[in-house]
Structure 1
Amino acid sequence: MNRSVKSIKKAGILLLAVLLTYKNGMAQVIEIPQNIPDAHPRIYAETNGKIKIDAKLKNAEWAKEILSSVQNDLEPYMKRFDRDSTWLVSRLQMYWKSHHTDIYIKGTKFLRAEGHAAVPTVRFAGTRDWATNYKVPDLAALKPYDDKDDGNVFMIDQANKGEWVTPDKTGLVIERINQKILELAQNASFMYWYSGDERYAKFASIVLKTYIKGLYYRHLPVNTIDSQESYLTGLTSFEVIHEEAVVPTTVCYDFLYNYLKKTDPDFNTRYAAPVFKKWADNIIEKGVPDNNWNIFEMRYLSYLALALDNDKDYADGKGISYYLDVIYNKNFPRQTSFTKSLEGFDKNTGTWHEAPGYNLHVCEDMVGIVMLTDRVMTGKLLPLFSILKKAVLTTPQYLFPDKRIVAYGDSHYDMLPAGSFEFFISLARKYGNIDDEKKFTALLKYTQDEPLKRAKQKSLFNLFFYVDKLKDTPPATLADFAAPTFYAPNQSWFVQRNGFDEKNGLMISSNASEGNHSHSNGINMELYGKGYPLAPDFSSGESYWHPGYREFYAQFAAHNTVVVNGKSSYGTMLTSIPFQLKSCYPATEKTENYFKAVTFSNIAFTEPSTNAAQLRLLSIIRTSDTSGYYVDIFRSKKNGGGDIKHEYIYHNLGQQANVFDMRSMQLSLIPTNELSSAKGDVKGYDYYKDKTYTSYNQDFRTNFQLIMKDVPVIQMNVWMKGESGRQIFIVKSPKSYALNTGVVPNEIAEAEVPTLIVRQNGEAWTHPFAAIFEPSYTDGQTVTSMSAFNSITHNAEFVGLKVTNVNNTSQLIFSDVKGVQLNQYMDLSFKGTYAVASDKKGEMQYLFLGNGTLFSKQGYALSAINKPISAALLFDRGTLKLYAEDAIKLLLPVTGNSNRVFIEITSNGQTQKIEGRIITSGGSKQAEFIVPGLHGQVSTIKLKNS
């Protein structure tokens, strides 16, 4: 009986512990094997690794390409080695003569080296800032045994001129040269393991032993001033996340392990293990625990752990199992465990809490760490797969229709990295998950260049960890992986798409500032058109330590946003200044049964530095399969008054920008010295060049043109509603660092960016910036005019726009701030946030109500019952189609004398009859129907009389 009671109590305590762990968000503990086979290699290969590689080479042409590339790249150096065994090793950046042991830095720069060791030691990096005039050259251009008495190093500048300079001018070049040499040694060690040719082993071992011994005698850097860098520095680099030398060093050692045991029996325990532990312990002690730094560090720790033997083989008990436990389970002040780090992914969306570019590489690195360590922990890591899989499958949400990601924050217009998908394909195949393998295979094939080139990166990692052949999968499209709308709160990012085609798809990316690597940018937007990010973001500039980053690239002036009183600016990098997504359509991640002609979002933001209220309504309106335009209504005012000016900034790719009135007469702009810190504005305005302006209070159009070889000229026409107290500026912004030659030709990527700035003197809340944007080819423009209208019932917060198109269609666009006042124009009545009425040749095409309670025209009406809703009524070739998110009151005009009417409403193949109520008003009759919640299903409606 007592034993039973004790068992129950024990079970209860265990259950309570589990519940408390769940409640407190404690990470799951991964079981770490304590007796891992001592056989090497084990980082990239295992005991039967050669058999597996031979099979892969037999089946996969891409694997043969990697092997051939490794051999071919090595051969010139091998020939040099045969003539002079010191040629390559002499190019290592070392303290060859001085043998310095002690490194002193000052903040972000190398200061001096002192002390003397028994052997040459490894030279420390030059600066934390990677921006430099020097480059990693061909190794033949370097001086052998470079170690002058004055401490200067021989560098090659961007013009291929060699000169002696102080290390603090060299950026990351010193460490990158060493990495390049170590990678040659790594590849040679692999060739030794694979071929058995000791010529490769001799080549690799002289480099490896020199480098590791040089680190053994080198102490960790000392910062002479108390600064953040004191907590970030690595053994070879200013940042522990740049300790890239870890990878080739450990892999080279792993492949040479048995050769070293034979030729230098004490080397492994005397030098290699202590260096790997010193490296690892410093990485654990330094860095940043709660962002991508932590993941970079775990990647390096994985290599270092796998290079070591079992814990019992070391007096301090710190071997492979110890460091694997650190990686997966242990938390330190500056190093968070893998399992705890998974909490950085939003549970609902799968997005990481940093800008897109960092999100992608965190996903790739985390799955890569699992791949790397899974061989010695088979089955132990399966509990981690679920969140990682969700995170990787979320990454296509960042894609524009050209398969390149959005670039807000410190991101670039890059493709999704193949690694995440390749790794999950390998893991899925290993664990027999056929559905996952096919899913990730389809994603890989879609997102990468066609034809798929799996040997594009000549990587040993890829050679060992990618599967030999991919399974056949049906062709995929972006619509298979991305939704029309998607919202990531932990990045304060909302995206809306209308069409997924590369040339004709339309997409708005909007963001504020939440999470790491975000910018001071208010409510920022990027626009896509005709295959290009026409309204681009600008990324981080030359580097994070360059004044251009602090003053321009990470600030409002480099974004498509609104600046208040010339003062808008707040902290960058790790921030929590999000917007509020007040409403949107369709619902986030809804992929079917929605009205496809219109999408919108209504976003609120408080600009903290000026305490200004901002509200931005962004919409896409599709006018045909190949055409459509964007709507942007940006309201801005200071809370409590004190509005001096609000400035709307819009950047567009191209060579020119011209401003026209509504008769297409070009406006004359004159040079100005406005928009500058000398006038009291933010420093970012000083980066604008060729500033011109005019005062103009009428509607106007700005035409941007992007001219490229062998591509039709692409234009963006921007129509903007006029307001009193307006000034229009055309300026040139610095180049966008988000661009690259994969997106646009180099001359565009390097060019200044034409920029429209519209100044509203006073507040811009009742005088908002209301604009439409149409991307098109110059011979494909469909919008012919835009004009503004007001509500018959006065509403200072109302905006009405009429857009006319060449295909005999026109749209009336309604926008209101509070959505509680009845607004009327012609025969339309509107109460809500947003609405669009589209006609063709005078006949109604559709009525769309966005987050509202009423929208009516000519006897047709959409009316909310319970709360504001989004709904649409489509007139489709004589058939009515209704889209509604909730129960709705539908009014239809009635003709004839019948006193009883009903509708047949068909949804999901099911038809129901709903009787209506006749309403007579002003000599006209309407039938009122209460349509129950359709749960987002499109319904076909037929009106019947009885």
Structure 2
Amino acid sequence: MSFLGMKYVFSIVLVVSFVGAGTFNSSVAQGVQRPMIWVKASDRKAILDKIESQAWAADYYQAFKKRVESDLLLHQQDAGKYLDKMPLDWTRTTGTIPPILPITGFNGEVATGRLNVLHYMMTGVDCAVLYFLTDDEAYAQLSLDVLHTLIEGLVQIKPNPNGHNGGGYLYPEDHLREAREIGAAVPIIYDFVYPFIQKGGMPYDIAQKKKVAFSHPHADNVFKTYIQLALEQGGTNNNWPVLESSSLVGNTLALSDDHERDSFLEYYLTKNTPHQDALEKVAGHYLDYRGFWPESLGYSGAVASLSTYLMTLLTKNDPTLNLGNKYPQIPFALTTPYYLTYPNGDETVLFGDGHRHFESDYDSFETAYHLGQLSQNQKMMTEFGNLLNSAIHHKTYDRGRLGKRNYGAEVYREPLHLLWHAPVIAGQVKNYPLPVTDELPFAGITLQRNLSPTGRSEDALMGFVGGGAHVHGHGSGMTMELYGQGYVLGPKAGRGTYTTDLHENYYRLFASHNTVVVNGASETDGGWVNLGINRVERIAAEPEVRKKPVSENYSFSTSQFRDDKGEKAEAAQERTLGIVRTSPTTGYYVDIFRSKSDLPDEYHDYIYRNLADKLILEHSGRTVDFQKDSVRFRAPAAKEWVRNRTFRHPGWHFFKQVETARLRDGGEVTALFSANRLGEKPVKMKLFINNPKDREYTRAVSPLSREVAKPYGERDNPTLVIRQKGGAWQQPFAVVYEPYSADKGSVESVESIRQNNVLKALKITSNVSGNTVVQYVIVADKPDASFEDEPSGISFTGRYGVVTLTGDHELQSVYVGEGSGFRFKKARIQSDNQKAFSAFVDFTGISPKVSGPENLLVTSP
């Protein structure tokens, strides 16, 4: 049947159902045994045995019952008074329950009405489950009364016919949200109270003030309306179809007719519509993107969680579907966010419209474990059994704790903790170390972390470079985040309120990222809502993704990006981010950003923001004198803005308190960001900046950085913009970043080493525990570049390396990130095949200690 034909059938079915409302025609039931959506009657004994035998289940069960006690008591005392807070439009009653007032926003009376509906609905689900477990008809009566009021209040509403996400039922402008909050729950209540209705149970009607017959035709009408909305509203090739699918599947399974259930279920499993992607297509995205759902993390996490839930639900309903073995890549993706976390454990990398906060989704891990049991998938059971047992052992997860109700845009699944979770989990207690290098390919992200041997998150280092076009992506260019002292100090600015000027013309665009804007014209084009950019590509890294590093103290990555959307940037860019640890508590980052445009009169702006109360710049030991600059970033404000289509690129017209200094002379520049509100001691980030002649430095205040440590999410942030006129390839932006909270950092000076007007290396002098440490960080734009430095005596061939000397110029160690040869006095490192390699050689002992390929030839000094 064509999609248009399906719409026609829908309209006929809905009309017939509505006209025939009033009594239940048992001839259409065709042998359905309920409950059957979450559980079957045959599951009851095993669940009760679990509660009886397992302490965690008993604790959970008692808390689960206690949560509805007050509602149950109020309902038993006066059912009409209990239901009185349902937001019904009593101006439209004719002696029957009137329609529910539409939910059109999240403030004032409308918000109160929405919260009341959700409270009734969640309580109705909980009591329906308790009726299943206890046979106590008091629970069933409350659930049936709530269901009847919802059904009768909904069935009179005409859904909004507008397409896309405009069309809803109770939420006339937001079916996407309604599908999760309301549509997914109504059929669950119905499924559990159905046996009570069969036994003669009747709902209390708040309008007629008496018990009446429950209308199955009205219920079918509501179920089919939610099915229709899921199939005919919304967009495809994004998370929307999955977010709507809990409503689609639940309402399909609530239908009385076997043929209708089987027919509509195919639209979840295999049949796509112009507005709904089936599971088969969704699962294919995970294969196309190497196990990742290609959206910002909050959205991708919901896709994996809800898909795992529905795969488990349908496998319980029909084991022959074998969904756990057919699409195992979906539940296995549940662990992805953990591997993208910062060392503090509760924050993750931020890109696009995502959120920063991280918590492991243990409920979904439990569901995946149950799916593994149902599918007899030992690999899945082992993976999630180990994860759950490890979390229980480390006291980060308590199976007996009742979760708080969430009144956000989520599918209510709390009772599954009791119904689905295994009595005992088989699995080992393991540690899950975070790799040095990891990636998120669809977002162009390469991250690297360095965890301190102290075990303290304050002593750890981590950063990432990335950027790419995807649903809920932002025009970031090749952006960077930096972590230090337990916080993400150099963050992406986050996101604002959707559809607003600030969100669309700042948070989504280049200026809200730590990136480089070319010719003031870096912009997006094509792709999702016209926010398309090229994907950042990693061209080198040590260690490779999830591989063992050659040294615990060093790592690096080099990425490239083409900024060619629009017609005025036309730039090639390359960014190297290195991590250098100098002691268990000290270390720094090296950021080398190269950028060149194909166009004449090019200029490049390097943007960096940091959590701070103030920003101070010094040049040659003196505080830089800034002058007010009212014109530098204002021009984009005049550009045309069409929501979700054209934007005011690059977004920097939102910068305030703009002031600029022009440093005609060379010499190094330092910048100090000081955050005084993160703890007892100020947390600082010091920048050592290479400074070719005639650079311009702008200090500004940018809008709030969302998703950052308090109180800095409520304060505008100091922002540094460095402008280089002409190309920035041979003389790239080269910045050493050191985070610290002591009175002063360990890095004392940074000197640029230039040869033939090309930046070749940085000489970084540090004081580590009273000892002078000199490190030459060699940076090049190709793996076979040559560095010959007569003053230091260092010869190096390669893209990236770190040579460490004592203050007396004695060789300590050499880190070869990517290179093919090193020479210092009599010391030599090379391979026997002259190919590029990665290695670390410690020269402090009697003989060198080598970590790297077996074919290395090392000569001691």
Judge same fold: TM > 0.5, yes or no: yes
1:443 pairs with one of 380, 384, 387: 387
CA contact (8 A) 1:357 1:412 kept: yes
The answer for the alignment partner of 1:218 in structure 2 is: 157
1:830 counterpart (776, 786, 796): 796
Whichever residue aligns with residue 721 of structure 1, its letter is N
The partner residue of 1:236 within 171, 183, 203 is: 171
1:568 to 495, 518, 522: 522
**Which residue of 120, 132, 136 maps to 2:98?**
120
Cα distance in 2 for partners of 1:730, 1:580 equals 30
Whether the 8 Å CA contact 2:103–2:170 is kept in 1: the answer is: no
Query: Which moves more between the two structures, 177-186 or 435-444?
Result: 435-444
Query: SS at the partner of 1:53?
Result: helix
Over aligned residues, Cα RMSD in angstroms?
A: 3.1
Residue 301 of structure 1 pairs with residue 240 of structure 2: no
Answer 1 or 2: which has greater strand percent: 1
SS at match of 1:854: strand
Letter in 1 for 2:801: A
Other-structure match for 2:594: 635
Separation in structure 2 between the aligned mates of residue 377 and residue 810 of structure 1, nearest angstrom: 67
C-alpha contact (below 8 Å) 2:289/2:442 kept by paired residues: no
Question: Any conservation in 1 of the 2:268–2:278 contact (CA below 8 Å)?
Answer: yes
Is the Cα contact below 8 Å between 1:357 and 1:407 reproduced in 2? Answer: no
Tell me the CA shift for residue 556 of structure 1: 1.4
* Aligned equivalents of 2:189, 2:328: Cα separation in 1: 33
- Give 1:615 deviation, angstroms: 1.2
> After the TM superposition, which of the residue ranges 769-778 and 752-761 deviates more from structure 2?
752-761
Deviation at 1:40, TM superposition (A): 1.6
Aligned to 1:506: 461
Residues 1:584 and 2:536 are matched in the alignment: no
Q: Contact between 1:694 and 1:728, CA under 8 Å: does it hold in 2?
A: yes
1:650-698 CA-partner distances (Å, limit 9, x unpaired)? 12123332223454x4434444324432487946323323334433353
1:856 matched to 2:823? yes
User: Distance between the aligned counterparts of 2:534 and 2:819, measured in 1?
Assistant: 28
Which residue, 796, 810, 813 being the options, matches 2:758?
A: 796
1:418-433 superposed matches below 5 A: 418-430=362-374
SS in 2 for 1:87: helix
1:245 aligns with 2:209: no
Contact 1:872/1:884 (<8 A) preserved: yes
AA of the residue aligned to 1:120: P
Question: Residue in 1 aligned with 2:579?
Answer: 620
Q: How many residues align?
A: 780
Distance in 1 separating the partners of 2:390 and 2:625:
47
Distance change (3 Å), C-alpha of 1:767 and 1:446:
farther
Where in structure 2 are the equivalents of 1:761-772 lying within 5 Å?
A: 761-772=725-736
- The CA deviation at 1:249 is 1.3
Letter in 1 for 2:722: V
Question: Which letter does structure 2 place at the counterpart of 1:612?
Answer: A
Gap change, CA 1:75 and 1:861, over 3 Å in 2: same
Does the 8 Å CA contact 1:179/1:248 hold for their aligned counterparts? no
2:775: which partner in 1?
811
How far 1:553 moved relative to its partner? 0.9
Partners of 2:624 and 2:146 lie apart in 1 by 67
Structure 2 equivalent of residue 332 of structure 1: 273
Which residue of 323, 326, 329 corresponds with 1:381?
323
Distance 1:268 1:407 in 2: 49
Kindly state the Cα deviation for residue 82 of structure 1 after the two structures are TM-superposed: 4.0
In 1, are the aligned partners of 2:785 and 2:799 still within 8 Å (CA)? no
**In structure 2, how many angstroms separate the alpha carbons of the residues matched to 1:192 and 1:245?**
21
- The Cα offsets for residues 546-603 of structure 1, whole Å up to 9 and x where unpaired, read as 221101111112111111222322156663520121211112221x363333211111
Kindly provide the amino acid, as one letter, of the partner of residue 355 in structure 1: S
Residue type at the aligned position of 1:581: R
Instruction: Specify the code of the residue in structure 2 equivalent to 1:814.
Output: I
Q: Is contact 1:221–1:235 with CA below 8 Å preserved after alignment?
A: no
Secondary structure, counterpart of 1:575 in structure 2: coil
CA 851–77 in structure 1, closer or farther in 2 if over 3 Å, else same: same
Q: Secondary structure at the match of 1:263?
A: coil
Superposed counterparts of 1:541-560, under 5 Å: 541-542=496-497, 544-560=498-514
**Structure 2 runs not aligned, ≥5 long:** 1-28, 203-211, 405-413, 638-647
Answer yes or no: is 1:539 the counterpart of 2:506.
no
Contact (CA 8 Å) 1:795, 1:823: kept in 2 or not?
no
Pair 1:548–1:86, CA change in 2 (3 A): farther
Q: Does 1:872 align with 2:840?
A: yes
Q: Contact 1:233 / 1:287 at 8 angstroms: preserved in 2?
A: no
C-alpha displacement at 1:522, in angstroms?
0.4
SS at match of 2:184: helix
Residues 1:862 and 1:877: Cα distance change in structure 2 (over 3 Å): closer
1:635 counterpart letter in structure 2? R
8 Å Cα contact 2:554-2:580 kept in structure 1? yes
Matched, 1:200 2:139: yes
Farther off after superposition, 48-57 or 297-306: 48-57
- 1:859/1:891 contact within 8 Å kept: no
Aligned-partner residue type, residue 271 of structure 2: K
TM-score, length-normalised on structure 2?
0.83
* Alignment match, 2:10: none
Partner in structure 2 of residue 723 of structure 1:
692
Matches within 5 A, 1:335-414: 335-346=276-287, 349-378=290-319, 380-403=322-345, 404-414=347-357
Q: Distance in 2 between matches of 1:362 and 1:866?
A: 47
**Residue aligning to 1:781:** 745
Q: Which residue of 2 aligns with 1:291?
A: 238
Normalised to the residue count of structure 1, the TM-score between the two structures is 0.76
CA displacement at 1:177 relative to structure 2: 4.1
Counterpart of 1:279 (choices 226, 232, 238) is 226
The DSSP-based 3-state class of the residue aligned with 1:539 is coil
2:435 aligned residue (483, 487, 502): 483
Alignment of 1:736 onto 2:705: yes
Deviates more, 1:249-258 or 1:321-330: 321-330
- Contact 1:117 1:217 survives alignment (8 Å): no
C-alpha distance in 1 between matches for 2:214 and 2:50: 33
- The amino acid of 2:187's aligned partner reads T
Q: How far 1:446 moved relative to its partner?
A: 6.2
Residue 457 of structure 1: aligned partner: 403
Query: CA separation of 1:876/1:122 partners in 2, compared to 1, >3 Å: closer, same or farther?
Result: farther
Q: Distance in 2 between matches of 1:602 and 1:756?
A: 23
Q: Which residue of 2 aligns with 1:263?
A: 201
Deviation at 1:257, TM superposition (A): 0.9
Match of 2:471 in 1: 516
Q: Which string of whole-angstrom CA distances, capped at 9 and with x for unpartnered residues, describes residues 778-822 of structure 1?
A: 24732222121123xx25364434343424322101112245553
Write the letter of the residue equivalent to 1:417: D
Q: Name the SS of the counterpart of 2:550 in structure 1.
A: coil
Of stretches 677-686 and 410-419 in structure 1, the one that deviates more from structure 2 is: 677-686
> Match of 1:832, as an amino acid?
G
Partner of 2:50: 56
Q: 2:843 touches 2:860 (CA, 8 Å); kept in 1?
A: no
The alignment partner of 1:121 has SS state of: coil
Relative to structure 2, which stretch is displaced further, 351-360 or 463-472?
463-472
The Cα offsets for residues 217-259 of structure 1, whole Å up to 9 and x where unpaired, read as 3222133xxx7545x6466353433122023312211221122
- 1:36 Cα deviation from its structure 2 partner: 10
Amino acid at match of 1:650: Y
Give per-residue Cα distances to partners, 1:249-296, cap 9 Å, x unaligned.
122112211222323597463121232122112201222222211211
- The 1:439/1:625 distance shift into structure 2, 3 A limit, reads farther
User: Residues 134-149 of structure 1 correspond to what in structure 2 (within 5 A)?
Assistant: 134=107
Instruction: Report the AA paired with residue 674 of structure 2.
Output: Q
Are the counterparts in 2 of residues 720 and 772 from structure 1 also a CA contact under 8 Å? yes
SS in 2 for 1:181: helix
Indicate conservation of the 8 Å contact 1:234/1:283, yes or no.
Answer: no
Counterpart contact for 1:235–1:282, Cα < 8 Å: no
- Asked if structure 2 preserves the Cα contact closer than 8 Å seen for 1:423 and 1:466, the reply is yes
Do 1:606 and 1:613's aligned partners in 2 also have CA atoms closer than 8 Å? yes
